Amino acid sequence: MRLFLSKKMILFIRGNKIPALIVVALLGLNTTAIAQKIDIARQFKYAQQQTTYMLEALKTADTSKGLVSPRTFEDGKLKLVNSKDWTSGFFPGILWYLYDYTKEKKWLTQAQAFTAKLTDEQYNKTTHDLGFIIYCSFGNGYRLTGNEAYKKVIIQAARSLSTRFNAKTGVIRSWDHNKDKWKYPVIIDNMMNLELLFNATKLTGDSSFYKIAVSHANHTILNHFRPNYSSYHVVDYDPETGKVIQKNTAQGYSDESAWARGQAWGLYGFTMCYRETGDKRYLAQAQNIAKFIFNNPNLPKDLIPYWDYDDPAIPNTPRDVSAAAIMASALYELATYSTNNNFKEKANIILANLSEHYKAPLNTNGDFILLHSTGHKPAKSEIDVPITYADYYYLEALLRSRKFVKN
């Protein structure tokens, strides 16, 4: 690990003959200083190389069952998903981010091709994940190209998502499965799909999308969070009365634990809601979630969290790099709305550590970018593997970091 010291600091150290070990101790392995030297160009060069290998692998992948996007590399196999899977939009989004950074036609062509495979999902009313599926793909495509066809898909997807809203509960239903367990389950992840609705109002002038998004965000603040600003994973509502029935988890350690990716979804979601509404309640919520995360005694020094902050097996339990990537991206945006430089510094540290210590060697790891994510530990699924959404938010964080990082 290299330390980046100012000339004044070097002269002071030499003049006072301070031993190197003491310098390191005094600096506390100043990862903030290291983070200021994140080489964004080098990281994107690597991402392009790794994604090029991925595209080659996809040429011979089995797509006979309608599989369209890579999701993970598990048990020595590259695993793809169909367009209905909640992760299907992330790989097209990665391609759009590579085009965003490079402006090279080859990435535009690939992004267009993989985005097109998701077109039918604009009519899918059976999932709350249309934000992930459509906005990460078509949303980025429209942002970068202005393609009117993409705009139409975004609007139709928002209409489909809106059908899952219940005025009694005030929130969008997340899952239709496990009806014996939940009546009207809403997960913290659902905050991420509100961006699709906010933008549909911008594109159409129809405020109904905006109102649904605001209602969902407000009810999530009211019902999903504990006094310490940690979040439950699942809140179950009575669709007839709107009352909360139960609060529990599906992917966390326990009902009362703080599932790491869930905390990251909340941080990102409320930061985005503040951007779209200017409502300071959302800014305060995001800031308080960040405080919970960074004051947590179980957060490792490198700020890459364990999969659940309350797993009693810590430190002998998996990390979740995907949570870290989401956090970094959210924090860079949050830093633009706050005078608290701590958010920027934490984002820099996370991004630097992801870049230096959690990247796979080239042409390994199923050609995904980052190592050590955890998908669904209680189900013994996707534990300590690469996951496409970790790569997506990592690249987004790199793009956002350009406002703060000196190369």
Instruction: Output b/e per residue, 70-101; b: 16+ Cβ within 10 A.
Output: bbbbbeeebbbbebbbbbbbbbbbbbbbbbbb
Give, for 384, the enclosing helix (H) or strand (E): strand 381-385
Tokens at 370, concatenated: 């980052």
Neighbours of 177 (CB within 10 A): 10
Picking from 186, 118, 184, 122, the residue whose alpha carbon sits closest to that of residue 155 is 122
Tokens at 158, concatenated: 């928002």
Give, for 164, the enclosing helix (H) or strand (E): none
**Secondary structure of 24-37 as H, E, C letters:** HHHHCCCHHHHHCC
Active site residue 189: yes
> CA distances (Å), 5 to each of 10, 34, 75, in order?
6, 9, 43
Instruction: Output b/e per residue, 130-142; b: 16+ Cβ within 10 A.
Output: bbbbbbbbbbbbb
Neighbours of 355 (CB within 10 A): 22
* Residue 38 contacts residue 348 (beta carbons within 8 Å): yes
Radius of gyration over alpha carbons of the chain, in Å?
21
Residue 75 DSSP symbol? T
> CA distances (Å), 128 to each of 140, 212, 256, 260, 269, in order?
19, 13, 24, 21, 14
Catalytic: which of 85, 100, 129, 311? 129
Tokens at 324, concatenated: 């870290």
Active site residue 320: no
Catalytic: which of 85, 100, 189, 311? 189
**Sequence-separated (6 or more) residues with CB below 8 Å from residue 122:** 130, 134, 138, 153, 154, 156, 157, 160
Q: How far apart are CA 71 and CA 229, in angstroms?
A: 31
What residues are annotated to the active site? Answer: 129, 189
